């Protein structure tokens, strides 16, 4: 059985730019941004594969698990009871 590798990606939301972006990750060079978390999840595997081939060739042939930890904040106004 192939050894498993875990890559943890911390994602944050920039309200002004309206994008989700890579705040930090365990994979050197990973810098992704997208307008939605779904889009981010769609582009991430291809980027990770490219970076593994370039920066971590010893990982080739291993199972790679990408854990995405997203952090966002919304503010709402709740009106006072009448």
For residue 55, what is the domain's CATH number?
3.30.2390.10
pLDDT of residue 1: 61
Q: Which residues of the chain have pLDDT under 50?
A: none
Write down the pTM of the prediction.
0.82
Domain count, the chain: 1
pLDDT of residue 81: 87
The rounded distance, in Å, linking the Cα atoms of 33 and 27 is 15
Which residues lie closer than 8 Å to 81 by C-beta, 6 or more apart? none
pLDDT of residue 75: 83
Whether 82 maps to a domain, the answer reads no
3-state secondary structure of 3: coil
Q: Domain residues for 32?
A: 4-71
| CB of 32 closer than 8 Å to CB of 44 | yes
| CB of 60 closer than 8 Å to CB of 52 | yes
Whether 77 maps to a domain, the answer reads no
Whether 81 maps to a domain, the answer reads no
Whether 80 maps to a domain, the answer reads no
Whether 47 maps to a domain, the answer reads yes
């Amino acid at each position: 059985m192939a050894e498993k590798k875990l890559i943890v990606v911390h994602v944050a939301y920039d309200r002004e730019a309206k994008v989700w972006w890579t705040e930090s990750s365990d994979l050197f060079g990973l810098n992704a941004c997208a307008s939605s978390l779904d889009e981010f999840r769609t582009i991430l595997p291809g980027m990770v594969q490219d970076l593994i081939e370039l920066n971590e060739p010893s990982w080739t042939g291993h199972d790679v698990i990408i854990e995405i930890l997203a952090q966002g904040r919304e503010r709402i106004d709740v009106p006072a009871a009448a």
